[in-house]
Structure 1
């Protein structure tokens, strides 16, 4: 105690020695945590110990004014009673409570800022390497472009894998490979129509055309309208009843219409033949018949008449168009319808074979 009537209590003198009995001065200094002549003032912030002569560790957030222990915590990146230790590898920041990002080759990040001084592992970016690659990039420094992932989704940030598969027209681990010519669609699992030359790898539309005999966006329809072949551009032949020919090769499956033959029914009948598939023979009395109907529209051979030249000339006539009259055949018999000869001889007074000229012998004898 000191002062008037020794009524004032001494300050925090070193080792609790008596202060000056008059003015209260601590002649040997102050105890830890205090300062001033009478040792009644606490140490300023960041100072501690006897007479407040020691500085707190600068990594302290504020230390105990007596012991120097950082009892209010450490600044980011430090730990320990006196905040003299860096965060253990893999942690950083306040109270060393934050884990490092994906630093290259698992190196430790900076214990205070968390920055990865040597860069990031593939698939990550930013100072702290905590941000996965985005915007369709992946790999080291996020410098590689993703492939064609389904619905343009982000690929795996490290290896570029498309986790939900590929968009239409692509396949492969990273969806960077185009479908082959026979496949299309997501992951190239759809097959182009077999009638396609090659289809659009996204839609399956046969935009390079169809194989002969097929038509339509997907080459799913056969040729029609009596066409066949490449681009359905070849006209069918003369199929029976105007039927559609085979859509690929043009064959008439049920045969040919009248007047035509051959597998495609494009060959006209040979002379002397007519009808469906040219299997009927023209009448022998025809010069040549109509290849469809068999009618002798070029006329008949001598001795024949009728639409089909199947009738002999009427009795008494012969030859071309049956316009020649027979001679005087014996007993008024008809002459031969082709050459006009009287097969059984002539009437008396006429000379064979046509019995049209007089017989000089008979005339002289009977005159």
Structure 2
């Protein structure tokens, strides 16, 4: 058909003059005329190769035979046939037996119309030299190779021999015993103390605390330590005379009156009950009468400042000349404070909100949180709170859905007797001078509210933390990051860590609140923690717990000693310097991965477990020191204690409210804490912490003008940040 363009004939039409006018039909179709007498091609019936009409077949397809005018299907694997059961030719793999097509039985193959047996080790074959299935326990092209004895159900892959292992075996081919097992079938236990042993039961690697020639793995005698128990007795002042089996360190604490890694140092003689913290020697239960300070070395009203000697005692405050200079300085400071205080109080009211604005996010004050006077409890709100707490209890009960381990893996939180601090919540925004008045008057310091105003417990979805692979990474079952605020790790097998983004004053994600790093939750090399520090470009680390408090491990040492370099996975960390003060320590790290960065760690060591700092001045000095340190990275400040909620929340609130107080002249402590709990569960946990927050904030905002200067300086450092290479001397000079 010729037109402006060529078109196909209708289906089944071999030759046509137009789309509707067919001349002849293809094979498998027959011609019929429609009402206009045009030819229309219709398909033949099934099995019919050529037909003259739907009712008459002229030639049949392969596998069909002529049965009158129609084609019927051959049966019994016939390729061609005369009648259903009378075959002429058979399909592949079938042989002609008289007039029937038959397959060979299992274990035989077809050869020249005859069934011949496969080789002995083949369960089925297609030829004498190719097995298609091996007998149990064998594999390979000819099934000549044996599966490992560790293969489950004696079955392995026919081509390469890999398999699913029995419980006692490991390896790609299940040809090795699990640790602690030996024997041809791994049916025997290795001797006590052996981590791994050979097929004969001879120990290859000993467990920690065991030793011996030929690895007989005998346990170290009491008081001995070392990889081969080659060292003498543990230090005599270790608690219960026990120490680390490899290093000899007093990991379980010291006897009363001693401190240090090996408990080799004496507590200060003025410590109450002769007890002090193992890590830094600060008095853990206060001082005997007439002495003050965390080292109990101040006979008068000393403040927490100055450096300490190697033995942990202040060397400067006891010098008579220094004492005289201190008294003169205090008198001058008081006079300056009075003058500047009057100026501050009058200027607070008209102060513009010109503090650091949203370089790290949208500008916000408190994210859609109503002022405290707008959220006094009602019956409706109280009912919602009760329903919310009931729902939380149900959530914890449902943890059993992912196994009993999910319930028992986390410890009960031990920071204090935890209560809802809303019972003592401030009820309105306060002018800074009002805080002074209220804090001095204990009856007006806080107002008891009848019903709970602050959210208590987990109030947002936290599904990621409850996945089976993440439950072990939560130390406390009721301290989990919310899904929408958690730090998500990138380029790792697991993206989970128990850490949350925290918003600051008018800026988003100013802080990260984290669980205190432990080997159990973050791995032996703390790679997950340091990779988070690197990913988020953390500018400072604030640590608010000691490693061990009252014999309980609160946090593991995740940083190197001074002048030591350690690789934490692919992050290289070197401790460049360490300065010890009576109530805190300052460490400078260089952190390297794809570049070299400078990172400060501020470690507050005088916050007793289940309590608050005894002296607010130590915390104020710590905060001022932290604020003076410039930001060498534009990322958040990482803050952690043990659980990352109580002490961490108190410090976060203090820093946020200090910025708010300087910028606005007023603070809303309740709204701040309420807002913090939107980011992470139960930040600021106890009534004591809530009261301490008032006291510390009072000292910060009412003492002198140094707070304003510090915050302005810190903001200037942040916003005028310029990347440059700095050595340790440069850093000390800047600070």
Query: Structure 1 length as normaliser, TM-score?
Result: 0.30
Give the number of the structure whose residues are more often strand, by fraction. Answer: 2
Asked which structure has the greater CA Rg, the reply is 1
Query: Structure 2 length as normaliser, TM-score?
Result: 0.17
User: Using CA pairs below 8 Å that are at least 6 residues apart, which structure has the higher relative contact order?
Assistant: 2
Give the number of the structure whose residues are more often helix, by fraction. Answer: 2
